[in-house]
Amino acid sequence: MLTIHHLGISQSERIVWLCEELEIDYALKRYERRADNRLAPDDYKALHPMGIAPVITDGDLVLGESGAICDYLCARYDGARLAPGPEDPDFADHRFWFHWSNGTFMTTLMMQLVLAGGGEGNPTSVFVADRSRRSWAMVEARLGQAPFFGGANLTTADIMMVYCLTTSRAFRRTSIDGYPNLRGYLARIGARPAYRRAMAKAEPGMTPLLT
């Protein structure tokens, strides 16, 4: 049985959404963050050597890392429509945004959060702030070119990106008032039945940050 081990308010919401889009049967086990430091509890950390979300189990398999889990589920559970193949005109764009999400965007945002107290004149802070500005500009430009990050249709690139633009953004309180394309995109995502089901299960009682 496929089980999603979901740490509250974490990247593992991506996997719940993916399973809802693919209409996969799965069990959801939700873990609350520790009250003292807001980190994962010990029983979640014990699931995988890295001790971080997301984690799935599927029979004897224990698998971590958002991108790896997305690839696994699409390959294992007939998710080709969310992962365009080489013959698809959107293949390259999908692959770029799928990998850019955690490879560059999330890394930059996390570095910016960590360096927030370093002062605006700190050379590292300046470098990261510039990369962050360029990243947000890329997001806005892309969503002016296509309805979804991967192209014409929703793909796992969107599954990866939306967390960065919503739940993760809440930690930094970043406004998107100056990003009309992004705001329109998030409104479209928020209207998707699978996304609404996923968030209701993953974060019951919490309103997703879609504005």
Structural domains present in the chain: 2-82+195-202 (3.40.30.10), 91-192 (1.20.1050.10)
Question: Residue 114: its pLDDT value, please?
Answer: 76
Question: CB–CB of 23/30 below 8 Å?
Answer: no
| Element (DSSP H or E) covering residue 31 | strand 27-31
The dihedral sign for the CA sequence 187, 189, 190, 193: positive
Q: How far apart are CA 11 and CA 28, in angstroms?
A: 14
Question: Residue 117: its pLDDT value, please?
Answer: 60
* Mean residue pLDDT across the chain: 93
Three-state secondary-structure class, residue 137: helix
pLDDT at residue 22 is higher than 70: yes
pLDDT, tens only, 135-193: 999 999 999 999 999 999 999 999 999 999 998 887 777 889 999 999 999 999 999 99
Largest Cα separation within the chain, whole Å, is 52
pLDDT, tens only, 90-131: 999 999 999 999 999 999 988 887 777 655 667 778 888 899
- Stated pTM of the model: 0.93
